[in-house]
Amino acid sequence: MTREISWPKRFRVILHVRTGGSIPFSVVTWISQNKAISIAVAAYMRRYPEGAEIYDVEIDDLGRISRDAEGLMVISRSDLTDRSEF
């Protein structure tokens, strides 16, 4: 069990595949880096069901997501999330 963080964070997850490519994902989660990786891998598998095997993962913690003028979370349409978290 991992502890939940107090405000969602944005992570850049880069999946390296056996064909030599690298696929970056922007992920927002309340939970942890491991959760961000699982969201990115699930998205990769949906987009590329016959895709190349993943052999390495890089992750960068980009920090807490920003708030708008009303104090609400600013999540980009390009960010991946787990709908059950939000």
Q: For residues 7 and 47, give the distance between their C-alpha atoms in angstroms, rounded to a whole number.
A: 28
pLDDT digits (tens, 9 = 90+) for 7-39: 899 999 999 999 989 999 999 999 999 999 999
pLDDT of residue 58: 98
Q: For residues 39 and 64, give the distance between their C-alpha atoms in angstroms, rounded to a whole number.
A: 17
* Nearest in space to 43 (alpha carbons), one of 2, 1, 83, 86: 83
pTM score of the predicted model: 0.87
The tokens describing 35, both together, are 């959760």
pLDDT digits (tens, 9 = 90+) for 34-73: 999 999 999 999 998 888 899 999 999 999 999 999 988 9
How is residue 44 annotated by DSSP?
Answer: H
pLDDT at 1 over 60: no
pLDDT of residue 31: 92
Number of residues written out for the chain: 86
Amino acid at 65: I
